Amino acid sequence: MVKAKGTTTQAYKLWMALTGLFLCVFLVIHVLGNLQLFLPAEEARIQFNWYSQLLSNNIIIKVISYVLYLSIIAHVIYAIILSLKKQKANGVKYAYDQRGAVSPWYSRNMGVLGTIIFLFLIVHLKDFWYQYKFTELPLDAQGQKDLYTIVISAYQELWYVILYEVGLLALGFHLLHGFFSAIRTLGLYHPKYVKLAKWVAWAYTLVITLGFMAMPIYVYLSN
Amino acid sequence: MKLNLKIWRQENASEKGRLVDYQLDGVTTHMSFLEMMDMLNQQLIEKGERTIEFDHDCREGICGQCGMMINGRAHGPLANTTTCQLHMRSFKDGETIYVEPFRSSAFTVLRDLKVDRGSFDRIIQAGGFISAATGQAPEANSIPIAHETAEAAFDAAACIGCGACVATCKNSSAALFTAAKVVHLAILPQGKLETAKRVDAMVQQMDAEGFGHCSNTEACEVECPQGISVLHIARFNFLYHQSRLMSKT
């Protein structure tokens, strides 16, 4: 039997799907936690700061967070490997190319969308995650780090809100194809459940994306 | 009708090719795309030029030989149609038509629009068969197969191996072709027994030939002359993971 050099593209795809779906689960937790931002200001401050502290002190959450960092890194590295393989597989380019007419644009541009999300993630982690973990923050009335104030003040700037909306829109389209594609890669082939999976992918994407997109806008308008 | 053609000309596999302009007058809407190409070739012969080489055989849409990238689409602007079944009524008078070979590093352009799809044959050779002793055909009713199962196997077996799936795929993936061959055998009692070995061997060969990965854009199903469903790819993925999870090595 001829052996392909190294890991097969099928195996890479499986890891892309598994890490991607894990990140999808994380987004559900993230959007649910962030819903606390919609509470009345003073209540939101106490709730949100309590929740942040709970997450950063819990050992189980800590373990999961390391899996999360690893998943992001693996997802990016495997995407780069597959993208390089794809370049090689494509060979000579078509002089006139209209192949895009038969597939949705976002399904063909997962790499571009992923890159936008990655850049967005750097800004996002630097402004909140890094600040919370590695810098001295003012404390609230309960003596907890006041992440709420950091979040609220960040979204006072219109350009920053726009930056978030663009990043989240990219995330939305990435999820719209990614969620469904991951399930396909895992091997769900029964027509009945495939239909259900497509429906779930749409519902999931709408809830997550619109949920996140509403947050910066709400904070900007209500302050 | 009158056409402006921009056709890919290439001497051989090692030389670089380029698009060459041709004008063709007197084309009728009833002609198939290949007949239009024949007409152009006739004119080239009369001028003493080398004809444009392209693959074709049955011209009935069932052999899988013909295949060109026409106006940037595999087998032209219609969905689920072979190049030979594409007719000139799908084009307008005075239109400019780009004609290029199916491209992928696993498909070598031998000359002009003629492509070597031997990589597909080697994927089949790796495992697209059953190891049954040959001999006389066995009694047809000795292995009961439900009608739905037989139909499903035929749906997969309908793949004619034209390569449009690879040509239209943004990753040059042979997933639809390989999946069709794997699923065709996996759902029949004769082929089921060797599924794990077969899937693994065919995936290895697919990668060794240099085809890309499948990112589920589903473009292949649209361009496939047989309309092979992308759900075969899902089942192929399932069978591959199953083979890896259950493998003893």
In this structure, of A137-141, B17-21, B160-164, the range with the lowest mean pLDDT score is A137-141
- Nearest Cα of chain A lies from the Cα of B200 at a distance, in angstroms, of 9
Indicate if B24 and B142 belong to the same structural domain: no
Of all residues in chain B, the percent with pLDDT exceeding 90 is: 92
Q: How far, in Å, CA of B68 to CA of B100, rounded?
A: 6
Give the pLDDT mean for A164-169: 97
Per-residue pLDDT band at B73 (split at 50, 70, 90)? very high
**CA–CA dist B86, B71 (Å, integer):** 13
* Residues of chain B positioned with their CB less than 8 A from the CB of A93: 103
Q: Which ranges of A91-109 does DSSP label H, i.e. alpha helix? A: 105-108
DSSP B143: S
Reduced to 3 states, what is the DSSP secondary structure of residue A162? helix
Give me the torsion for CA of B189, B124, B70, B14, rounded to 10°: 180
Each domain of chain A, given as residue ranges in start order, spans 9-89+105-222
Residues B187 and B220 in one domain: yes
CATH number of the domain encompassing residue B39: 3.10.20.30
The residue of chain B nearest to residue A181, with distances taken between CA atoms, is B216
Q: What is the mean pLDDT of residues A13-35?
A: 96
CATH number of the domain encompassing residue B176: 1.10.1060.10
Which of B78, B111, B144 represents a domain boundary (last residue)?
Answer: B111
- The whole-number average pLDDT for the span B182-211 is 95
Among A81, A82, A96, A110, pick the best mutation site for testing chain B contact (most B Cβ within 10 A). Answer: A96
Distance CA(A129)–CA(A33), nearest Å, equals: 15
- For the residues A208-217, what does the mean pLDDT come to? 97
Mark which residues 74-133 of A lie under 8 Å from B by CB. 82, 85-86, 88-99, 101-104, 107-108, 110
Question: Do B131 and B73 share a structural domain?
Answer: no
Question: Are B129 and B231 part of one and the same domain?
Answer: yes
Do B35 and B56 fall into the same domain?
yes
Q: Which of B50, B80, B111 is the last residue of a domain?
A: B111
Look at residue B249 in the predicted model and tell me its pLDDT: 62
Name the domain count of chain B.
Answer: 2
Tokens matching residue B174:
């042979």
pLDDT at B133 over 90: no
Please tell me the class of the A9-89+105-222 domain: mainly alpha
pLDDT at A4: 63
- Given a cut of 90, whether residue A89 has pLDDT beyond it is yes
Q: Using a CB-CB distance cutoff of 8 angstroms, which residues of chain B are in contact with residue A196? A: none
Yes or no, beta carbons of A98 and B219 under 8 Å apart: no
Examine the pLDDT at A1 and tell me if it is beyond 70: no
B73–A189 C-beta distance less than 8 A: no
Same domain, B72 and B28: yes
pLDDT of residue B23: 97
CB contact under 8 A, B238 and A181: no
Q: Measured between beta carbons, which residues in chain B are less than 8 angstroms from residue A84? A: none
pLDDT at B139 over 80: yes
pTM value? 0.93
Q: What is the mean pLDDT of chain A?
A: 93
The predicted complex's ipTM stands at 0.91
Residue given tokens 């978030």 in the structure block: A164
Q: Is A195 on the interface with B (CB under 8 A)?
A: no
Q: Which residues of B touch A198 (CB under 8 A)?
A: none
- The pairing of beta strand B96-100 with beta strand B108-111: unpaired
In angstroms, the CA A26 to CA A29 distance is: 5
- Whether residue B248 is predicted with pLDDT greater than 90 in this model: the reply is no
- Which residues in chain A have their CB less than 8 angstroms from residue B208's CB? 2-5
**Of B111, B139, B157, which marks where a domain is finished?**
B111
What confidence score (pLDDT) does residue B137 get?
Answer: 83
Same domain, B105 and B225: no
Task: Indicate whether A2 pLDDT > 80.
Answer: no
**What is the extent of the structural domain holding B61?**
3-111
Task: List, in sequence order, every residue forming a beta bridge with B19; answer none if it has no partner.
Answer: B8
**Strand pairing category for B18-24 and B108-111:** unpaired
Same domain for B233 and B196, yes or no, is yes
Task: Give yes or no for residue A71 having a pLDDT over 90.
Answer: yes
Helix, coil or strand: residue B174: coil
Residue B174 Cα, gap to closest chain A Cα (Å) = 10
Best CA proximity match to B28, nearest among B93, B76, B95: B93
Domain shared by B126 and B95, yes or no: no
